[in-house]
Structure 1
């Protein structure tokens, strides 16, 4: 077998693409934050966060569920495409109603930005399903790399012609998402057949309830930034938003490991077998853990140099986020192992309770602690989830051995 089709090869390729993606996005956020200032950047970051939340809620875990069902052979490619098309039509309809209502009654036109972003992000997410379920993350990696190159060029061009940095960031993410979706569709059309839709599906989320609860819980956690902005103001939101994506590259190897492991874990017959199928790539988790520890130590030097003196309050925020990233790294493969072996309901309960606890902590301490409230909310809830996942895995392994 070609090494790019094995778990380790898939993980390495996807990790490299994710690394490039996260670096490009982090640079764009850094440039936008530095050129805009905390308040203006806070508004842009809030719009982006709302867009990702809307997509996550409407997706309701369907994409993850389809990947598992396609990998196990219980869902046909054509059926997945029909459900995906129907889901995106539902999203377009919901956004249209919201935009018309807010524009007409409230004279608030910010949802136009949310609509453009959400459609692009949703198309990008939907077109990844066929590639990921068929263990072709190598093709997905190529799409990600090309789309991020497009985003970098787009951001540079918009800034050169005088577009405001915060606006340029929003436009760039929308354009890059649509570009990635188009590239994914081209790759899918070349490799897979039998995916042409013949009908629309009224309920594209059928069967995905437990995945939906987990996905929605993860999506609504993005509301922490808009909630912080509403309670504490746009300046604390700008401080938090300036560094909250810095921790994503820390966990990119873990994310790649978890994402590319789904079809291999789903094909395994047991929890122990799932680990055997992917353990050769587990060294990537150790690198992620080491990088998180290094970020805690280096934050006081990195933040002033990269963002400037206006963002000195972001140093402890970044350190707490890096601390919370350590259990978050471990949570990703543990959740995938549980979901692919029939414990998706338990994962849904854990992620849902963690999400609402996170928002409750932000709401309770935003005024008093500012951006630190959001960072500590993330760290505390990730630690809680990690302890419960570990308990469930150990219990499942004991049952298999008995």
Structure 2
């Protein structure tokens, strides 16, 4: 399990927001299949090189740990995620879903076959996950229309991270938010961390809906000329974040019932934590459409900067509030930062909206004067 966690983290670090950036650039007509193929080739080669180095070091330093298996798992995850870029940019979420189902199905069947043949569970797990990833990658590549299909070009690579820096900052900021729990454990002790951790992931299903909304909307929004046109596309999929908000509100209201039923009366101290974290999820979900619009219209620097500031401030608040108020301090820190980030995103989108409306009015006046 440690190797798989390392592989997932390594994949996220190496990707550094490139997949999201490529979807935007392809949707806006700024990247053709040839350029995508060159960048994809470079990223795969870099991932392969890092994987070989990791496998060599871990095999020498910790030969019996199995940590070397993070390399093939990481490579599989990287190729799998990258193979979805062309499909997402083509607005073929239905085909992306097919590759995801194929990934999970092949991994499940491979694990059963290996387990039935007597292979140890850890070995069966990493092999099955790798098989699932590569199967989905091949399927994803085949499902892309030939004219949009990227071609692997060895020896003619291109910098895969060019232009994706602030997408990467946003991605790292999202990952860094998970550090609130270890920071709380340090400043407030394991008891407070336990109360916080007991319900800290209960809002993740709602976040998955918001993430699905982002993936579905990004290609459409990227082709928009301005924020007004982008909103028309976002509005069509607004039911997804609205459902997530409704579920989060339900969790907040039902917290006094859910916690003792699912965790027992020993965790009654987590009720208030769950209520606050459900509010955190609501503000986070409301920020998703604004983030998609701004990033897709080329304001990824603004989003990345504010997300970086927000996460650093959150961790600092966890140190202070966690020390004084324990687990509630960490929850309030998350809520404060999500409100701050939501406010910043609303302000920027409102400014863009006013500018577009003003430009429209001025164009109408100019037309009247010419006539």
State how 1:2-401 maps to structure 2 within 5 Å: 51-97=7-53, 109=65, 111-112=67-68, 115=71, 118-148=74-104, 175-176=128-129, 179-180=132-133, 182-193=135-146, 194-200=149-155, 201=157, 203-228=159-184, 240-241=196-197, 243-307=199-263, 314-364=270-320, 372=328, 374-401=330-357
- Taking the aligned partners of 2:252 and 2:269, their CA distance within structure 1 comes to 15
State the number of aligned residues: 355
- Larger RCO: Structure 1 or Structure 2 (Cα < 8 Å, ≥ 6 residues apart)? 1
Displacement after TM superposition at 1:247 (Å): 1.2
Q: TM-score, normalised by structure 2?
A: 0.78
**Per-residue CA shift, 1:289-316, capped at 9, x if unaligned?**
1111111122333344445567655544
- Taking the aligned partners of 1:311 and 1:347, their CA distance within structure 2 comes to 37
- For structure 2, the residue ranges without an aligned partner over 5 or more in a row are 359-371
Q: TM-score, normalised by structure 1?
A: 0.73
Displacement after TM superposition at 1:385 (Å): 0.9
Task: Provide closer, same or farther for how the CA distance between residues 285 and 315 of structure 1 changes in structure 2, counting only shifts above 3 A.
Answer: same
**Per-residue CA shift, 1:60-101, capped at 9, x if unaligned?**
211111001111221122322332332233234335545655
Displacement after TM superposition at 1:271 (Å): 0.4
Contact 2:41 2:154 in 1 (8 A): no
Contact 2:206 2:244 in 1 (8 A): yes
**Per-residue CA shift, 1:161-182, capped at 9, x if unaligned?**
9999xx87x9869845762552
Range with greater deviation from structure 2 (245-254 or 348-357)? 245-254
Task: Provide closer, same or farther for how the CA distance between residues 310 and 52 of structure 1 changes in structure 2, counting only shifts above 3 A.
Answer: farther
Task: Provide closer, same or farther for how the CA distance between residues 58 and 181 of structure 1 changes in structure 2, counting only shifts above 3 A.
Answer: same
Displacement after TM superposition at 1:252 (Å): 2.9
Q: CA RMSD in A?
A: 3.9
Range with greater deviation from structure 2 (213-222 or 273-282)? 213-222
Contact 1:124 1:177 in 2 (8 A): no
- Taking the aligned partners of 2:52 and 2:332, their CA distance within structure 1 comes to 36
**Per-residue CA shift, 1:339-371, capped at 9, x if unaligned?**
121211111111111122233334445566665
- Taking the aligned partners of 1:380 and 1:211, their CA distance within structure 2 comes to 23
- Taking the aligned partners of 2:181 and 2:124, their CA distance within structure 1 comes to 20
Contact 2:22 2:31 in 1 (8 A): yes
Range with greater deviation from structure 2 (366-375 or 135-144)? 366-375
Range with greater deviation from structure 2 (79-88 or 63-72)? 79-88
- Taking the aligned partners of 2:272 and 2:127, their CA distance within structure 1 comes to 31
- For structure 1, the residue ranges without an aligned partner over 5 or more in a row are 1-43
- Taking the aligned partners of 1:146 and 1:359, their CA distance within structure 2 comes to 38
Range with greater deviation from structure 2 (326-335 or 195-204)? 195-204
